Amino acid sequence: MPATVTPLRTPPSHPQSRRPAHVQALQRPPALVKVCELAFLRFEVPDLDATEAFLLDFGMRRTERTADSLVMRGTGASPCIYAATRGPKARFVGSAFTVPAGTDLERLAERSGGRRLDPKAIPGGGQGIELIDPAGHSVWLLRDRPALEPLPVREPLLAMTNTVLHKPRINAGVRAPVEPAAVVRLGHVAIQTADFPTMSQWYMRHLGLIPTDVQYLSDGSPALSFFRLDLGDEPADHHTFVIVGGLEDKVEHSAYEVVDLDAVGQGQQVLRAKGHKHLWGIGRHVLGSQIFDYWFDPNGLQFEHYTDGDVFTADFETHYSEFDLGSIWAWGVDIPPAMKPRMSPAVLWRVLKLVLAKKLAPQRLKLFGQAIGIPARPWM
Ligand SMILES: [Fe+2]
């Protein structure tokens, strides 16, 4: 077993001020704006009917549907957490964030190279601008978003959990309803990029994101970062945006918060019964701590249910830990092959082009291969 395999202990994590000498800090550039919410994600899909059926079973609610578009919400106040239009093949189009009320959009567009959006094109309403990130993803910055009346959602069962020290539930059982896991809100999106340094700098500068946890390769170079929103003293999710340094520019997954652990479990039952394709879970992540369950939609895109994630205020120091597959989850079944990088001829060709263009150093590719090659749970 390689010396760096540490399956039965939590990988060490170092605050930035006390990180090992060889670990490079992910320096934060001055921010053009500090976004305050991940509003929704935009996709193109070939089959809106099949996609809508999956999302309903996943626990979202439909707010708008035409022959060529679909808008979904959660039980929270956001008028839209997911928007899709009909397209020739499934693809992630981009993300939409809200900016603080009163943000001068004209000035922001000038400084960030954005263009004004037609308000009629914004699902759920409001006004905003569009930026294009270095990988070509659309990023919308919106304000004046109307809020909807939240929909009723059951109380979390945790308050009535019997523990060894405290047993509040007497003469009663645990009876979570068998129903789709009511999605309350959009939590985060993770994207992979072949150019981690450029993309991480761009998102910190244009959205004001804070790196909560950075993972580095064995040479100390950052390769993955979990970013949270800068909400000052208000606690923000451990990550709202994740950038994974890899071989391609694509979406990894999007994640949606549900009311509690029993919603994750009962939601899994419903999705299985409806014949949807399971990906990974139930387990608990290490960085962010969420209890998770991952699914494929009919387009092969990855959707995560989660609950019990960590939250941090803006002053919490960035932490650094070494990247390997085993650091992704604390317990649960082994990570499936579909979540590991795959070497297809198309990916190999892309890698070759990146190496020839000097955008990807062969040494970095080797270190990345070593990190993901370490068996996470060798006994599985
Ligand atoms: Fe996630």
Give the separation between CA 280 and CA 291, rounded to whole angstroms: 11
Q: Which fold has domain 32-148+183-373?
A: 2,3-Dihydroxybiphenyl 1,2-Dioxygenase; domain 1 (3.10.180)
- pLDDT at position 363: 83
Give the separation between CA 99 and CA 96, rounded to whole angstroms: 10
The alpha carbon of 308 and the centre of ligand 1 are apart by a number of angstroms equal to: 12
Give the separation between CA 146 and CA 21, rounded to whole angstroms: 48
The alpha carbon of 285 and the centre of ligand 1 are apart by a number of angstroms equal to: 8
- pLDDT at position 22: 97
The alpha carbon of 129 and the centre of ligand 1 are apart by a number of angstroms equal to: 27
The alpha carbon of 98 and the centre of ligand 1 are apart by a number of angstroms equal to: 20
The alpha carbon of 256 and the centre of ligand 1 are apart by a number of angstroms equal to: 9
The alpha carbon of 304 and the centre of ligand 1 are apart by a number of angstroms equal to: 6
The alpha carbon of 97 and the centre of ligand 1 are apart by a number of angstroms equal to: 18
Ranges of residues in the chain whose predicted pLDDT is under 50: 1-3
Neighbours of ion ligand 1 (CB under 5 A): 255, 304
The structural domains of the chain, with segments of one domain joined by +, span 32-148+183-373
- pLDDT at position 75: 98
The alpha carbon of 306 and the centre of ligand 1 are apart by a number of angstroms equal to: 8
Strand ranges (DSSP E) for 18-174? 37-45, 61-65, 69-73, 82-86, 91-98, 115-116, 127-132, 138-143
- pLDDT at position 380: 57
The alpha carbon of 338 and the centre of ligand 1 are apart by a number of angstroms equal to: 15
Q: Is 126 left (phi over 0), alpha (psi -120 to 50) or beta?
A: left
- pLDDT at position 2: 45
The alpha carbon of 42 and the centre of ligand 1 are apart by a number of angstroms equal to: 17
The alpha carbon of 185 and the centre of ligand 1 are apart by a number of angstroms equal to: 13
- pLDDT at position 344: 76
- pLDDT at position 172: 94
**Helices 362-373 + 345-356 axis angle, to 10:** 140
Give the separation between CA 111 and CA 312, rounded to whole angstroms: 29
The alpha carbon of 192 and the centre of ligand 1 are apart by a number of angstroms equal to: 13
**Length of the chain in terms of residues written:** 380
The alpha carbon of 255 and the centre of ligand 1 are apart by a number of angstroms equal to: 5
The alpha carbon of 294 and the centre of ligand 1 are apart by a number of angstroms equal to: 9
Q: Which amino acid is at 362?
A: P
The alpha carbon of 252 and the centre of ligand 1 are apart by a number of angstroms equal to: 9
